[in-house]
Amino acid sequence: MNPFGLVPIAIGIFFLIGSLRDWDWFIDNTGPLLTRILGRDGARGFLTIIGLCFIGIGVFILLID
C-alpha cells in the first residue's frame, strides 16, 4: 500500500464537498472562466467529476505496489 495515494484522495474529497455544498468562494476561485463558459451549475458538475477522478487516481495509487 502506497501512502502517497492519500493526497489525491484528500484533494478529491475537498473538490467533491466544495462543489456539492456550493461554496461560493470555492466555485468563484477555481476558475472564473470555467463559470463563465459552463455556468455555475455546469462548473459545479465539472468540479464534481474532477473530484471523483482525483479520488479514483488516489485509490489506484494506494492499490498499486
> In tens digits, what is the pLDDT along the chain, a chain of 65 residues?
788 999 999 999 999 999 999 999 988 888 788 889 999 999 999 999 999 999 999 999 999 96
- Give the position of cell 473538490: 15
Q: What's residue 61's pLDDT?
A: 94
Residue with cell 487516481: 57
User: Under 8 Å CB-to-CB from 28, ≥6 apart: which residues?
Assistant: 35
Contact yes or no for 28/64 (Cβ under 8 A): no
Query: What pLDDT is stored for residue 49 in this prediction?
Result: 97
The model carries a pTM of 0.88
Q: Which pLDDT does position 58 carry in this prediction? A: 96
